[in-house]
């Protein structure tokens, strides 16, 4: 319905444009004004330049006002998150200062020096000092950002295995995720998609003869104990996917034929995050919006009431249902985690045994 309305509106606009075009055409045919800008044009467009500068500032403010809670820059839930957020905020501040300033200069000059008949421009072709200044300033600012950025990048990507991280495999396939826990030995069993045996429910292609594989645990939800470093090993069985965990400031592609990795330490449990005032507000806001859209949501068969959860999203185009490839992440206390893990079947026990199959 809304879509239909839009089309009508667009059609109206088209007609309006057409009318306007005709009016302008007639106006021009009558006068012998040339097709080159006159002083009057310079003046009008000069003022419009200032108007446009205002528009840029306004759209910036409005965007911040309505969309400025920026969940990717606040309330991170991982140990390296605050550092990244800091770097992001510093970069954003620099960007906004430069943006405000240069847009001002550009539009203000366009307005200030709008052409007039008889005026002559300044013949000013070069100035090496100026060139040096505006080469040097970006060099210094960027050098600072690069150094800060590289330190952050290295500390995130160099995973310290001596801290005994929990090893978890994230396994991607069109269009869902699986998690594989390394079990008691904290060593993932060997696996290759060539070993997949659907009949025996060996869905991730684990090497059935590998002792390390026997205690592995395959799940469809990702549970993580809080404050323990996690080392993710990513695999994909078909096409590229990307394991994107925005709340933890974490992302890594899953590449068929290769194991990629990413590590972080979750610091805030799901339960705690649900209590966070910002998140409470956000959830309230979302639920108010959902109440307005009740019908559409129920038609889709979704729960009407939204409750906050961490998510793993697929963030690399992977085919038709790319838009719905997600897995819930639960961060909980060690005890809760242990209790949950105990309920899951080990690989050994989840296999359908030959003798059972041939009744």
Establish how many alpha carbons lie within 13 A of residue 134's alpha carbon, considering only the half-sphere containing its beta carbon. Answer: 6
Cis peptide preceding 175, ω within 30 of 0: yes
Whole-number minimum distance, CB 317 to Cu ion, in Å?
6
Q: How far is the CB of 260 from Cu ion (least distance, A)?
A: 15
User: Which of the ranges 65-73, 84-92, 239-247, 294-302 carries the binding residues for Cu ion, by CB under 5 A?
Assistant: 239-247
Of 274 and 328, which has the nearer Cβ to Cu ion?
Answer: 328
Is residue 43 close enough to count as binding Cu ion by CB under 5 A?
A: no
Supply the minimum distance, in Å, between the C-beta of residue 328 and Cu ion. Answer: 17
- Shortest distance in whole angstroms from residue 65 CB to another protein: 10
The region, left, alpha or beta by phi > 0 then psi within -120 to 50, assigned to residue 205 is left
Of residues 226 and 325, the one with the C-beta less far from Cu ion = 325
Judged by CB, which is closer to Cu ion: 218, or 318? Answer: 318
Nearest approach, Cβ of residue 10 and another protein (Å): 5
Residue 250, contacted partner among another protein, Cu ion, none, CB below 5-8 A by kind: another protein
Query: Phi, psi (5° rounding) for residue 67?
Result: -120, 15
- The smaller minimum CB distance to another protein, of residues 202 and 215, is found at 202
- Tokens at 78, concatenated: 């991982």
Q: How far is CA 46 from CA 34, 43, 115, 154, in A?
A: 19, 5, 9, 49
Which is nearest to 244 in space by CA: 325, 158, 160? 325
* CB atoms near residue 301 (< 10 Å): 6
Task: Restricting to residues 324-343, name those near Cu ion by CB under 5 A.
Answer: 325
CA atoms of 216 and 67, how far apart (whole Å):
42
Q: What does each C-alpha distance from 288 to 59, 281, 284 come to in angstroms?
A: 25, 11, 6
Which one of Cu ion, another protein, none is in contact with 252 (Cβ closer than 5 to 8 A by kind)? Answer: another protein
* Cβ within 8 Å of residue 5, ≥6 positions away: none
DSSP label of 189: P
Select 71 or 211, whichever has its Cβ closest to another protein. 71
Handedness of CA 264, 89, 241, 320 (dihedral sign): positive
Cβ neighbors of 103 (< 8 A, separation 6 or more) are 53, 56
The residue among 104 and 175 lying less far from Cu ion, judged by its C-beta, is: 175
Tokens of 308: 């906050």
Q: Which does 312 bind (CB under 5 to 8 A by kind): another protein, Cu ion, none?
A: none
Task: Provide the minimum distance between the beta carbon of 224 and Cu ion in the complex, in angstroms, as a whole number.
Answer: 22
Give which of another protein, Cu ion, none residue 339 binds (C-beta under 5 to 8 Å, depending on kind): none
Q: Which does 47 bind (CB under 5 to 8 A by kind): Cu ion, another protein, none?
A: none
The site for Cu ion, by CB under 5 A, has a size of 5
Distance of CA 246 to the CA centre of its chain: 6
- Residue (154 or 342) nearer to another protein, CB: 154
| Cβ contacts of 220 within 8 Å, gap of 6 or more | 176, 177, 178, 179, 327
Nearest-approach distance from CB 235 to Cu ion, in angstroms: 15
String of contacts with Cu ion for each residue 288-327, x by CB under 5 A: --------------------------x---x---x--x--
> Which C-beta is closer to another protein: that of 187 or that of 193?
193
Residue 330 CB, nearest approach to Cu ion (Å)? 22
Residues of this chain that bind Cu ion (CB under 5 A): 241, 314, 318, 322, 325
């Amino acid at each position: 319905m809304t879509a239909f309305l839009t089309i009508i509106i667009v059609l109206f606009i088209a007609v309006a444009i057409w009318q306007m075009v005709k009016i302008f055409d007639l106006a021009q045919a009558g006068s012998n004004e040339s097709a080159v800008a006159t002083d009057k044009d310079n003046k009008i467009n000069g003022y419009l330049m200032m108007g446009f500068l205002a528009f840029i500032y306004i759209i910036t403010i409005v965007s911040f006002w309505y969309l400025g809670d920026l969940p990717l820059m606040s309330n991170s839930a991982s140990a390296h998150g605050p550092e990244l957020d800091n770097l992001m905020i510093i970069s954003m501040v620099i960007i906004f200062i430069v943006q405000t300033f240069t847009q001002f200069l550009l539009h203000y000059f366009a307005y200030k020096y709008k052409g007039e008949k008889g005026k002559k421009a300044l013949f000013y072709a070069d100035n090496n000092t100026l060139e040096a200044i505006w080469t040097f300033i970006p060099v210094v600012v960027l050098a600072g950002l690069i150094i800060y950025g590289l330190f952050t990048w290295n500390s995130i990507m160099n995973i310290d295995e001596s801290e005994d991280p929990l090893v978890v495999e994230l396994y991607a396939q069109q269009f869902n995720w699986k998690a594989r826990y390394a079990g008691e030995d904290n060593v993932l069993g060997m696996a290759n998609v060539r070993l997949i045996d659907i009949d025996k429910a060996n869905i991730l292609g684990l090497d059935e003869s590998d002792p390390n594989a026997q205690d592995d645990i395959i799940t469809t939800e990702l549970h993580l104990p809080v404050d323990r470093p996690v080392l993710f090993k990513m695999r994909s069985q078909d096409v590229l996917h990307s394991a994107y965990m925005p709340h933890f400031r974490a992302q890594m592609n899953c590449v068929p034929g290769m194991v990629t990795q990413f590590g972080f330490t979750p610091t805030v449990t799901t339960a705690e995050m649900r209590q966070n005032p910002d998140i409470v507000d956000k959830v309230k806001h979302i639920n108010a919006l959902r109440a307005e859209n009740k019908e559409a949501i129920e038609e889709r068969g979704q729960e009407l009431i939204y409750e906050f959860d961490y998510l793993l999203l697929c963030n690399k185009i992977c085919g038709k249902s790319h838009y719905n490839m997600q897995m819930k992440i639960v961060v909980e206390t060690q005890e809760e985690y242990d209790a949950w893990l105990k309920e899951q079947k080990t690989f050994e026990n989840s296999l359908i045994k030959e003798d059972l199959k041939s009744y």
